[in-house]
Structure 1
Amino acid sequence: MTKRKRSVADGRAMLGLAAAALYGAGLAGCATIDGSASPEAAPASITYETGPCFGACPVYRVTVTVDGQGWFEGRRFTAVDGERRFSLSRAQYEAFARHLSPLRPDTGSIRYSGENCTMMATDMPSASVEWKDPGGSVQNLYFYFGCDMEKNRALAERLRAAPELLPIAAFVRPAK
């Protein structure tokens, strides 16, 4: 190994030892919502949006931020129309983010609709999720609930359950 290559390798080893020492002292980055070691991996905000169906499916958009702010916009068949602000705890945000984390693309967008489906039922609702990172990168998931229903059952159930983790039930469900 040349002197130049050895010094680069030695430098990397020293950086690794320094990072380990900082971590042991509690000075390195903390774990994120999904358990990864990089704080940049935690989304700064998550937007969950439903699309219409043939019927009375609730259509709304909700955005939550890591600092506990939330915005709900009821569009159709919701208990409230228009925008509402709300607050949520860090634990609620983390539970919501953790629940949706397995669906988050590494980069870019994923679509479950149209030609991406082998079998497709019509007149079903849809859901989309947008994750925004503190650094500005964005990942998106769009899911049409009629897309390969048996094959995508677990995905559909996870998406349907996600809003229940947020304090928006009074906005979504019509009053009884």
Structure 2
Amino acid sequence: MKIKILGLAGLLALAGCMAEQEGLEPPKAPGDVIRFTAGRCFGACPTYTVQVSPDGAGLLTPERFTSVPGATRFTVTRAQYRKLLATLAPHRPAAGTTQKIDQKSCQRFATDMPSYTIEWSRPGQAPTRLDYQSGCMDPQYGKLRVAISSVPKILDMQHMLNPKAVAP
């Protein structure tokens, strides 16, 4: 009986450590925590969430078709953080709101394309969110498509997003 209790206590402690590793610490530097999620598509698109903090912390949480097996922490330079902010700024909705760009709001739409969510958040404030279904091919979203495709390069994480990797 003692062994079962000790084993259960060990598993709970291990689960607590794993849950603790899944998120970023609250930032010490002022600014937005940016959460970028690349959703699934019909095919082998990398599916993941990356979080970047203004104090240089980064966390990649893979779901499918990436080259990292689990949550991976990395460091973001001030220049990378500023470039990410500047690249996404023209597409940021009004503070505390959510903007959706999907099949209902587009005239030219391709199915089976990945969706993307970008969320800007600060402690004590409502998050700002952009949901974009990349099948929307309307010309006014061309710059948004370019901005989204540049995120892995800005954060120097292309090597972690190998679309030829096998899904877990």
Normalising by the residue count of structure 1, what TM-score does the alignment of the two structures yield?
Answer: 0.70
**1:103 equivalent in structure 2:** 91
- The alpha-carbon deviation at position 149 of structure 1 amounts to 3.9
- The alpha-carbon deviation at position 134 of structure 1 amounts to 4.6
CA distance in 2, matches of 1:82, 1:131: 23
**2:162 equivalent in structure 1:** 173
CA distance in 1, matches of 2:113, 2:31: 29
The answer to whether 1:59 aligns with 2:59 is no
Alignment of 1:1-176 (within 5 A): 43-107=31-95, 108-173=97-162
Distance 1:175 1:118, change over 3 A: closer
Structure 2: 5+ residue stretches without partners? 1-29
* Count of residue pairs the alignment pairs up: 135
Structure 1 outlier segments of 4+, above 4 Å: none
Distance 1:70 1:105, change over 3 A: same
Letter in 1 for 2:47: V
Root-mean-square deviation over aligned CA pairs: 1.9
Contact conserved, 1:63 with 1:71, CA < 8 A, in 2?
Answer: yes
- The alpha-carbon deviation at position 43 of structure 1 amounts to 3.7
Which of 89-98 and 63-72 deviates more? 89-98
Q: Secondary structure of the equivalent of 1:49?
A: strand
CA distance in 2, matches of 1:105, 1:150: 18
- The alpha-carbon deviation at position 158 of structure 1 amounts to 1.4
Letter in 2 for 1:163: P
- The alpha-carbon deviation at position 74 of structure 1 amounts to 1.1
Contact conserved, 1:63 with 1:72, CA < 8 A, in 2?
Answer: yes
Q: Secondary structure of the equivalent of 1:94?
A: helix
**2:19 equivalent in structure 1:** none
Distance 1:123 1:131, change over 3 A: same
Q: Secondary structure of the equivalent of 1:152?
A: helix
**1:39 equivalent in structure 2:** none
Letter in 1 for 2:112: D
Contact conserved, 1:43 with 1:134, CA < 8 A, in 2?
Answer: no
Letter in 1 for 2:48: Y
Letter in 2 for 1:105: P
1:1-37 CA-to-partner distances (Å, cap 9, x unmatched) read: xxxxxxxxxxxxxxxxxxxxxxxxxxxxxxxxxxxxx
Normalising by the residue count of structure 2, what TM-score does the alignment of the two structures yield?
Answer: 0.73
CA distance in 1, matches of 2:127, 2:58: 18
